[in-house]
Amino acid sequence: MIKWQTKIKKVFQQFTVLVWAMLLSNVVFNITRFMAMPFMAIYFNEKLNLNPSEVGILIGISPLSSLIFSILGGRLGDKFGVHRMYSVALIVPAVSLVGYITVPNYYAIAVFSVFAGIGWAIYNATSNAILAIHAPGSHTEKIFSYNYWGINLGGALGPLIGVLIIGGGNYEIPIGLFAFVLLLIAGIMFFLFRKTKAILQDRNNIEEKKDMDVKGSIYKQLFKDRTLILMTISSFLIYFIEAQDDTNFAQFLNGSFENGVQIFGTLVSMMTGIIVIVQPIMAQYIDRMNNNAAFIFGNGLYFVGFLSLLFLYSQTWSWYFAFALITLGEIIIAPKKQAIMARSAPRHLKATYFSIIYAGGNLAYAIGPWFGGLLLTHVGVNYLLLLLMVVTAFQCYVLIKANRTYERASKSKQTINEA
């Protein structure tokens, strides 16, 4: 018993209270997010009497707004301070969610959706930037691995809780609860940022950024940073692969198997289950792996998964086998990627870096389903799988190149500091 208490104590002592608070808030955020957001389309359809076309437009406005304002969101975070903007980023969508419930007007909801998208863009950039700023260098992979696990835990629990709440047909309750939780997190974290004097760090970063602005070197730095460019390309590639899951693979399964919908639902549950169960265990070992070895092994699992489907896509079991491999590959790659992103970005530009990199992912989600759908419709699933194998191989090359570029830049900075 004492040994277990000692081990637990050591785990909690690895990170600061602020890091643990961010990780916990992200878990709560994602549970309530997945409790409400998956049912938003049904709410618009049934409660507001909108047709499928109108619902589709409303659902698409927020992610489109996030894509357009993603880089601006990162710049706002760095300009005014990521700790301050984090709370603002949560308040804006909370107000928009309340607007969904209280103002049942199509055009008003469209406007609320635009502001919600802007809020999510700022939130994504600032939340990752805060974790990156306060992460101890030796535990960066572990922190982002835990954060990744928390997102998937929310994806597993949120819809189940949402179904229980909506059982009586009241879709407003989970939406209202999500808005309340956003406001609660914003208030608690703002208080904690002040208590830990993290907001004072914002001021120092802003002053440092002003000095860089005077020299006119920020945009030069962004466009000359090869690690940033390569990580943005990598983000596009991996999200291009993920974009096929919920769209084209789901449609292929539905059209190829009698119980295709059930197979797809089981696949999603299996993938989530693997991440929730395996991720905490693998997190203890992933941060010890060499980055290049992790990228080769992780992408190798992706490649083997798609290769097996190329020859066996007509067999139900092959989809479970392939998606299990792909999920394990994702578990290995994701924390390593985020750690490089966190370490390579200058302290006063972390939100900007994250926003640029995630803009690549947003772009992939915008065009990935369309391009994959063209292949699936006109030439068949074989060619889509071949394309994904090529994308996987190229992604492996890009990640290794990004890691080497980052390591060279780090050694160069270390040499300059020692001199």
- pLDDT surpassing 80 at residue 399: yes
pLDDT, position 170 = 76
Percentage of residues of the chain with pLDDT beyond 70: 84
How confident is the model over 271-279, as a mean pLDDT? 82
Residue 340 vs residue 47, higher pLDDT: 340
Confidence of residue 346 (pLDDT cuts 50, 70, 90): confident
Min mean pLDDT across 137-146, 176-185, 188-197, 321-330 is at: 137-146
How confident is the model over 229-233, as a mean pLDDT? 87
Over the range 100-114, which residues count as b (16 or more CB within 10 Å of their CB) and which as e? bbeeeeeeebeebbb
- pLDDT surpassing 80 at residue 248: no
- pLDDT surpassing 50 at residue 207: no
- pLDDT surpassing 80 at residue 342: no
Using alpha carbons only, give the angle 279, 282, 286 rounded to the nearest 5 degrees.
Answer: 120
- pLDDT surpassing 60 at residue 206: no
| Residue 356 to residue 346: CA distance in whole angstroms | 14
Non-local (6+) Cβ contacts of 240 within 8 A are: 364, 368, 391
| Residue 333 to residue 403: CA distance in whole angstroms | 12
pLDDT, position 9 = 58
- pTM equals 0.76
Confidence of residue 76 (pLDDT cuts 50, 70, 90): confident
pLDDT, position 299 = 92
- pLDDT surpassing 60 at residue 2: no
Confidence of residue 387 (pLDDT cuts 50, 70, 90): very high
- pLDDT surpassing 60 at residue 203: no
Of these ranges, 56-65, 196-205, 302-311, the one predicted with the greatest mean pLDDT is: 302-311
Torsion from C-alpha of 38, 40, 46, 49, nearest 10 degrees: -140
Rg (CA), the chain: 22
| Both structure tokens of 252 | 């292929």
Question: Angle formed by the axes of helices 226-244 and 381-418, to 10°?
Answer: 150
- pLDDT surpassing 50 at residue 215: no
Mean pLDDT of all residues belonging to the chain: 80
> What are the phi and psi torsion angles at 286 (to 5°)?
-60, -40
| Residue 307 to residue 310: CA distance in whole angstroms | 5
